[in-house]
Amino acid sequence: MPRLDESLLSHLPPFSRLEKRQIRRILDQASARRYDEGVAIFEEGHPAVRFYMLLDGYVRVVRITPSGEQVTALHIPAGQILGMATAIGRDTYPATAMTATESLALSWPMHLWDTFVTEYDGFATESYKTLGKRLNEVQNKVVEMATLHVEQRVATALLRLVNQTGRKVDNGIEIDFPITRQDLSELTATTLHTVSRLMSGWEKQGLVESRRKRIVVRDPHALVLLSEK
């Protein structure tokens, strides 16, 4: 891969306060890699040897339950740090990062985390802010699982994905990465049968449209009302 330009990092929050020479030093220590869709960047329980910056694509954060079921905890867009095990006092990855699309990521040896925190202004505050937002999202999901009906949970999950990654298309707002009904069932802790029934009903009502791993929300306001019922 050709030498990476400093502009790749200069607009991203963990590095936005840094001078060009500092970003150059960080990039010179990085490894860059492209990943196909459906590839694990790192896996739950494996030694946390590197941390990552997702430059392009989307990642699903996946956990495995004690019974062996796969649960999608989060979706992470480009421009965010991944694999921050050291930041939460771990030496293994707490979850698997699975690419939802073809993706490009930089990575650094984990021992450089403390160096970046110490030497680069804003790296620590922005990284921990990102971590806090993710923990808050997970906590919100736990509350949703305990208090919302299935229909509310699925509607809420679709609205969250639209807010995070939606792009305007002719017939509504499209979730900007491949997502299946199975993915939605994992994201909302419900069955594939239930998600399929709900989505089919909403399609007949003109609220959503789904095909080829793509979901378009045609009537966001109607989903808001469903999420609050």
Same domain assignment for residues 122 and 165: no
Same domain assignment for residues 82 and 179: no
pLDDT digits (tens, 9 = 90+) for 135-147: 888 888 888 878 8
| Confidence (pLDDT) at 2 | 62
Domain limit, last residue, from 133, 159, 190: 133
Same domain assignment for residues 152 and 89: no
The CA angle 129-85-26, to the nearest 5 degrees, is 70
Domain limit, last residue, from 81, 99, 133: 133
Same domain assignment for residues 19 and 126: yes
For residue 111, being part of any structural domain is answered with: yes
Query: In this structure, what CATH number is given to the domain that contains residue 118?
Result: 2.60.120.10
For residue 67, being part of any structural domain is answered with: yes
Residue in this structure with the two tokens 């998600």, named with its chain if needed: 195
Q: What percent of the chain has pLDDT over 90?
A: 66
Q: In the chain, how many domains are there?
A: 2
Alpha-carbon distance of 68 to 134, in angstroms, equals 23
Task: Look up the domain containing 195 and give its range.
Answer: 148-227
pLDDT digits (tens, 9 = 90+) for 101-112: 999 999 999 999
